Amino acid sequence: MPKWIDEACQQLTLLPKHPEGVPDDVWVTGWALLDALKDIADLEALPTPFASPIEGGGLQIEWDLNGRHVEIEFADHEDLVVLWAEGDNARTTGFPASHVERVVGLLKWLLRGGTHG
């Protein structure tokens, strides 16, 4: 398992649960996403993300690397909102949490640059 997954999981264990922070169903979705990413060899070089609760109950995981930024918000257990940015160019979209391949694509972009979206 990549070191960043282990460190992200440690961060998640320290976050407050709902109502102060992360509802149980969102919590499970966040853990499931990290679990789905742990065996993808192309992502081993990622830095440790920053995990935090979001206002209104939810979870955010974000990475910064080489001037690029990716945020994944879990506002509920079914859908993700993602933001990716490089310099002044930022884009946001949403998709079902089950679409792990889209998250993988964003994280590969974070590592390598190029175009995405």
Least confident span in 8-12, 25-29, 59-63: 25-29
Q: How far, in Å, CA of 1 to CA of 63, rounded?
A: 18
Residue type, 25: D
Q: How far, in Å, CA of 115 to CA of 117, rounded?
A: 7
- Using a cut of 0.85, tell me whether the model's pTM lies above it: no
Helix (H) or strand (E) holding 93, with range, is strand 89-96
Angle subtended by helix axes 100-112 and 24-37, to nearest 10: 60
**Residue 63's pLDDT is what?**
94
**pLDDT tens per residue, range 95-111:** 998 888 999 999 999 99
**pLDDT tens per residue, range 61-85:** 999 999 999 999 887 778 889 999 9
